[in-house]
């Protein structure tokens, strides 16, 4: 069985310009995903898919192979699923066919090797189509999330037949994280989105589930890295 790791990193981040190569505790953000993939002896290759020459250069410096992505697959509105398909087609053509696809987004620098291994193991043991990563949600549509009505008043987002007086009594919900996606190549090629198939998940604690979108996320991630004496 051949498994390849992929990191998808556009150059046009609006929330935090040059985010993917911004120095996080002295190292480019993307290097954390490359390094944790390299620390595992399960990937035949590690690829970075990008439209940016600067990201490509940094990625090569840290030992990743680069897939230059077409501009139409690197806009704010282009579905990442199509970038996944583009990467698979490129790798199959240039490196040969493979079985398993693992995405390690650059925006989750605090994942560890165990998170990746658990996702791949769960994918294999469950015989599912894809394994995603989740973390406990801080808010609940059954308890402390609301929607605005046409009259301008608020109501709870999802009504429950139960009387809920504490968030802990509401159904347990999770946020999808960008820690890891482990899936089968055929699933990506034959379906249109994650939830078109049989989906399983691994749970990741909040301190490893930080997803960097803006400067506040970046500062928080850096404080965690320094506090945890993180190594990558």
Q: Mind listing the pLDDT tens digit for each residue in 117-169?
A: 999 999 999 989 999 999 998 877 777 778 888 888 987 787 776 666 566 66
Cβ proximity of 110 and 221 under 8 Å: yes
| pTM passes above 0.85 | yes
CA–CA separation, 164 and 45 (whole Å):
49
CA–CA separation, 116 and 179 (whole Å):
8
Q: Mind listing the pLDDT tens digit for each residue in 30-69?
A: 999 999 999 999 999 999 999 999 999 999 999 999 999 9
CA–CA separation, 17 and 10 (whole Å):
11
């Amino acid at each position: 069985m051949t498994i390849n790791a992929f990191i998808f990193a556009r150059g046009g981040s609006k929330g935090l310009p040059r985010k993917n190569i911004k120095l996080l505790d002295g190292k480019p953000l993307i290097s954390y995903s490359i390094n944790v993939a390299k620390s595992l002896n399960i990937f035949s290759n590690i690829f970075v898919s990008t439209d940016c020459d600067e990201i490509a250069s940094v990625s090569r410096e840290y030992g990743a192979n680069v897939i230059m992505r077409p501009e139409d697959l690197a806009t704010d509105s282009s579905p990442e699923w199509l970038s996944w398909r583009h990467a698979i087609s490129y790798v199959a053509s240039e490196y040969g066919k493979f079985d398993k696809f693992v995405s390690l987004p650059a925006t989750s620098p605090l994942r560890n090797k165990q998170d990746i291994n658990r996702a791949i193991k769960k994918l294999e043991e469950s015989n599912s189509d894809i394994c995603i990563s989740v973390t406990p949600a801080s808010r609940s549509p059954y308890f402390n999330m609301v929607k605005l009505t046409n009259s301008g008043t608020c109501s709870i987002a999802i009504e429950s037949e139960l009387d809920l007086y504490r968030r802990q009594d509401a159904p347990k919900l999770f946020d999808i994280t960008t820690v890891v996606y482990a899936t089968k190549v055929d699933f990506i090629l034959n379906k249109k989105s994650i939830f078109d198939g049989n989906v399983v998940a691994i749970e990741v604690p909040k301190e490893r589930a930080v997803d960097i979108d803006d400067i506040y996320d970046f500062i928080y991630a850096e404080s965690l890295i320094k506090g945890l004496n993180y190594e990558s």
